Structure 1
Amino acid sequence: MDVIAKATSMVGAAMVALRRGRAPTDKAMGSAPAIPAARAQGIMTLKMPTAHGWPEGRVPTAAPGLKVNAFASGLEHPRWIEVLPNGDVLVAEALLQADPPKKLMDHAMQATMRRAGAIGRSANRVSLLRDPDGDGVAEERRTFVENQRQPFGMALVDGTFYLGNTDGIVAFDYADGADRLDGPGRKLVDFKPGGHWTRSLIASPDETKIYAGVGSLSNIGDDGMEAEEGRAAIWEYDIVSRQARIFASGLRNPVGTAWEPSTGKLWTVVNERDGLGDETPPDYLTSVKDGGFYGWPFAYWGGIVDDRVPQDAELVARTIQPDYALGGHTASLGLCWMPEGTLPGFGAGMVIGQHGSWNRSTLSGYKLIFVPFADGKPSGPARDILWGFLSEDEKLSYGRPVGVKVGPDGKSLLMADDVGNVIWRVTGA
């Protein structure tokens, strides 16, 4: 494995050097992005910084007027956050557990991801954090749920706690203030595990339904579309009827979801396909329509055909163009709605945790960003909230942003950092 890792590093460095001079200088971002023409890569660019963690005394850089502190540290790959009505903060601790590699490229990718701390042993638990004195640091930590299968998304509805494992949604009875939930939970919905493994959850505003993001198995249907059945989609679970259905599809890896309050629309962030260039296609933020199809794997950005894939002309014609581009390979995962007045200097809009790229010549993402909204849609360029997660030479990652939530005080943001093993708290300075 060391030999494979070294070979991967050498080949990856060669591909990065070869492509850096041809890389686009402008990012494909915004409502009308300039997306470069696709360049089939053959050997995919592999560039991922080595997971390092935060040196003593170092923290992310916050935008002017803001400050950041560690709400909790010493966690084990914290990925997703849920804030309960009583102020308890839940954090899902989980990690990709990769299947045995089948191809040389699988070996290469896994070696790269292992060095970056992106695959390995998964804690498979949800921890509960409490800050009883309200000083912005959690003094209490307990195991809330354990022995799950790569837990991720969470939702609490009317005394029932819903948890998104990679293989489905489970439910537990919950009483206000509970420190721990025992047992495996009641299985409500089955999902195919593996591949893009995260399963985010969000309850509808009227608390009658649960929505779950289920990513694809592969990059572009590499193992055939039968293997992708039920994937690359957002699912809807009806709490009353106990029936589940696909709500929207053609979404390669929809992770974070959030409600825009003025229109009542569901929004998501999606990780797009690899192997076509540094900025092609961009990851995106989009509203999601019931029955909508968003292109994967046949096309991207509203109908640009991916000629590596056997085509379906009817689905390409139905493809909905996303609302807002987030740059190529930023791995935009976390998403929450931030109301007006949460952070000074920032209005209402969507906050996005960009986990960061692994397959482009110049790294992208590795930030917590804000997209302003007006009249129910994006209304201007994105702004950085937190950055500084990478070393200047891009060789080390101190942290990687993932899930984000408005804090229990309504005047802060909480963000999971799964390389730094920290929950960061952002407030006014």
Structure 2
Amino acid sequence: MTDAPRSDTHSKRWFAPLLLGALTLAACSQPAPQGQASDPANPYLNAGDQSWTALIDPAPENMNVQTLNPGSNNLSLEPWTAASSGWGPIERDRSNGEKNAGDGRTLTLAGKTYAKGFGVHASSSMTFNLAAKCTTFTSDIGIDDEVGSKGSAVFQVFADGNKIYDSGKLTGSSAVKSLKVDVSGKKELRLVVTDAGDGLSYDHADWAAPTLNCSGQTGGPLTLKTVTVKVPAGLNAAPFDQARQLKVPTGYAVSVYARIDKARFMQPLPNGDLLVSQPSTGKVMLVKPGANGAGAVSTFAQGLKNPHDIVLHTIGTTTYLYLAESNRVTRSVYQSGDTTRKSVQTVVDNLPDASTAELKGSYAHGLKNIALDSNHKLYVSVASATNQSPSDVTAAFKRAAIYQYNADGSGRRLFAQGIRNAEGLAFAPGSNDLWVVVNNRDNIAYPFHNDWQNDGTGDDFGKVIQSYVDNHPPEEFIKVRDGGNSGWPYCNPNPDAGLSNMPFDRDVENNADGSKLDCSKADRVTKGIQAHSAPLGLSFWQGSNAPASLKGAALAALHGCWNCSAFVGHKVIAFPWTAGGLPGQEQELVSGWVTNAASKIRWGRPVDVVPDASGNLLISDDFANAVYKLTPGN
């Protein structure tokens, strides 16, 4: 979402910003634990009151409404309606650390690490709205390993004001507890941690992997099951020379539909054919339905320069096929059943690519993506040539931007900027709202003056630290505002308080003093996606074969990372679409291409995901060299 004024209450209702970091600096109300005065290393000694409270806008029309969806919901991705902590802020997906935001470490209980959860400090409280459709709440709980055997706390769960769980006193030496409580029909969940009556010192408490399981109001819960990928005869070359499995929605099956080397973006055609771009060969391939579920592949167009995105668009009675190459956008007339491309008209020429003189043959994100709206406006994503250099946004032809043209290529204007690498471009059904998924920067420097690594150095500002890089900055799923600036390369979204409507941190390398761009004025990120997941294709799930809970949902294919400690991404995700035209909470839809994330072993990488006319999903994979089809059935 942007920071521009809006009249729609839905935007505020779903993403009312939290006023994080509002410290309550009252007189110390709790005596120091016995023996504290003799411990000069004790951070609590004479520190005063460092309690913390997070507030939301109290006006009813601006209250946060949970975006809980059928199935398992990671609670650390949900906004709270109120929160407090006894020492420093509550951390999302990190331990509490000390009194500064972002100074915790990986959530760790009895040697087991957790990617998701809350790091709190006694005494703490978090309140969430349940919308009366959730059934159970589960979590692992305990004192984080970062304090050793120190610390003590009691974990309590309240539903609609009534206590439904009490852990009893847990210390740094206690075994991890796994709780599961029934919240059926409840409207409010409150998670409380007390200091066990002996003071707050070292009470670093973790709610690890906190999960709400919810039922659907229509269509029932979306659950996943592991199935064997069906492989038609003749398509069983590696990696399908052995059985491969994927997790898909229950009631669906997945099969290999075609084998195409380095398959990238796709365009279903009205007669059931499919076009697939092949940038590595300069071709666009045509897939026609064949016998036994295997598509017949032929060449539709060739001799192209890194062809990537393909879009059909009708103006009057003429249907055009628009094709994005690295240096231009062309179009040709398309008629149903065409097996080769008709004569080509260049509508946009001289787009920046590796041949641009100033880039000297180097363009990291040279492939282009396009979309056309109902007003016959053409949108072209011109991604950055670099990871994080301001040279992209100071160039004569500004990169890391989206341009708007007339359908014939005239009338170029800058539509939005500060968008590092917008891959998927798609319009929400029934609107001209342009949504994109964005690949964010790599190897970000730590932007705070504190000891992130907890190694005694005192200040990690400006250092590139792998444990920080692993989760920062998140990838982006955003509604693009005309005239908007999404901050890159001067501002990076911060996911530490959740992945919705995130605030920005100044980029250490490019904007440490804030002089290049006021990050508070950059357009907020509607939804974040796990850092380095590399979202590429984006579409909206229409058609009769879409499950009820995901009709109209936004779908994104996550290609996966190259520079993370363990593989992330490598899956297809869905964002259920709300009546207010906004995405709900991310759900995993198809996964299983990674067989060992820690050892970085994978057999596939999804690129694009598009529904056909019936709502079957087609998924391209440039690692397994395949196109898959997800259909109802067993």
Q: State the TM bucket, normalised to the shorter chain.
A: 0.7 to 0.9
Q: Hey, what does 1:117 align to over in structure 2? A: none
Q: Which of residues 154, 164, 169 in structure 1 aligns to 2:324? A: 164
Mapped contact 2:307–2:323 kept (Cα < 8 A): yes
CA RMSD of aligned residues (A): 2.8
Q: Answer with 226-235 or 188-197: which moved more.
A: 226-235
TM-score between the two structures when normalised by the length of structure 2: 0.53
- The aligned amino acid for 2:485 is F
Mapped contact 1:262–1:376 kept (Cα < 8 A): no
Say if 1:417 and 1:38 are closer, same or farther in 2 by CA, change over 3 A: farther
SS in 2 for 1:369: strand
User: Counterparts of 1:128 and 1:70 in 2: how far apart (Å)?
Assistant: 16
Say if 1:374 and 1:221 are closer, same or farther in 2 by CA, change over 3 A: same
The structural deviation recorded for 1:239 is 1.5
Aligned counterparts, 1:16-27, within 5 A: none
- The aligned amino acid for 1:233 is A
SS in 2 for 1:186: strand
User: Counterparts of 2:404 and 2:585 in 1: how far apart (Å)?
Assistant: 31
Matched, 1:63 2:266: no
User: Counterparts of 1:309 and 1:228 in 2: how far apart (Å)?
Assistant: 19
Q: Hey, what does 1:108 align to over in structure 2? A: none
Q: Answer with 290-299 or 148-157: which moved more.
A: 148-157
Mapped contact 1:353–1:368 kept (Cα < 8 A): yes
User: Counterparts of 1:259 and 1:64 in 2: how far apart (Å)?
Assistant: 28
The structural deviation recorded for 1:318 is 3.0
- Aligned residue pairs, count: 360
Mapped contact 2:606–2:622 kept (Cα < 8 A): yes
Q: Hey, what does 1:123 align to over in structure 2? A: 281
User: Counterparts of 1:200 and 1:241 in 2: how far apart (Å)?
Assistant: 15
Q: Hey, what does 1:89 align to over in structure 2? A: 274
Say if 1:223 and 1:188 are closer, same or farther in 2 by CA, change over 3 A: closer
Q: Answer with 291-300 or 261-270: which moved more.
A: 261-270
Aligned counterparts, 1:81-230, within 5 A: 81-94=266-279, 122-131=280-289, 136-138=293-295, 140-157=296-313, 158-181=318-341, 186=346, 188-193=348-353, 194-206=363-375, 208-221=376-389, 225-227=393-395, 229-230=397-398
SS in 2 for 1:267: strand
Mapped contact 1:93–1:123 kept (Cα < 8 A): yes
SS in 1 for 2:519: helix
Q: Hey, what does 2:407 align to over in structure 1? A: 239
User: Counterparts of 2:384 and 2:78 in 1: how far apart (Å)?
Assistant: 25
Q: Hey, what does 1:45 align to over in structure 2? A: none
The structural deviation recorded for 1:293 is 0.7
The structural deviation recorded for 1:236 is 1.5
User: Counterparts of 1:182 and 1:264 in 2: how far apart (Å)?
Assistant: 29
Q: Whose relative contact order is higher, 1 or 2, with alpha carbons under 8 Å and at least 6 apart?
A: 1
Mapped contact 1:353–1:369 kept (Cα < 8 A): yes
Q: Hey, what does 1:347 align to over in structure 2? A: 550
Mapped contact 1:136–1:425 kept (Cα < 8 A): no
- The aligned amino acid for 1:196 is H
The structural deviation recorded for 1:322 is 1.0
The structural deviation recorded for 1:341 is 4.3
- The aligned amino acid for 1:62 is V
- The aligned amino acid for 2:324 is G
Q: Hey, what does 1:398 align to over in structure 2? A: 603
User: Counterparts of 2:515 and 2:278 in 1: how far apart (Å)?
Assistant: 39
Mapped contact 1:65–1:344 kept (Cα < 8 A): no
User: Counterparts of 1:315 and 1:169 in 2: how far apart (Å)?
Assistant: 34
SS in 2 for 1:79: coil
The structural deviation recorded for 1:87 is 2.2
TM-score between the two structures when normalised by the length of structure 1: 0.76
Q: Answer with 230-239 or 374-383: which moved more.
A: 374-383
User: Counterparts of 1:38 and 1:215 in 2: how far apart (Å)?
Assistant: 30
SS in 2 for 1:373: coil
The structural deviation recorded for 1:308 is 0.9
Deviations 1:340-382 (A, max 9, x none): 7432354231111000011111221000111111124445432
Q: Hey, what does 1:275 align to over in structure 2? A: 443
User: Counterparts of 2:102 and 2:324 in 1: how far apart (Å)?
Assistant: 35
Q: Hey, what does 1:6 align to over in structure 2? A: none
User: Counterparts of 1:303 and 1:384 in 2: how far apart (Å)?
Assistant: 26
- The aligned amino acid for 1:81 is M
The structural deviation recorded for 1:244 is 2.0
State the structure with more CA Rg.
2
Mapped contact 1:414–1:424 kept (Cα < 8 A): yes
Mapped contact 1:331–1:355 kept (Cα < 8 A): yes
Mapped contact 2:333–2:342 kept (Cα < 8 A): no
Say if 1:262 and 1:160 are closer, same or farther in 2 by CA, change over 3 A: closer
Say if 1:30 and 1:231 are closer, same or farther in 2 by CA, change over 3 A: farther
The structural deviation recorded for 1:240 is 5.0
Matched, 1:78 2:283: no
The structural deviation recorded for 1:190 is 2.5
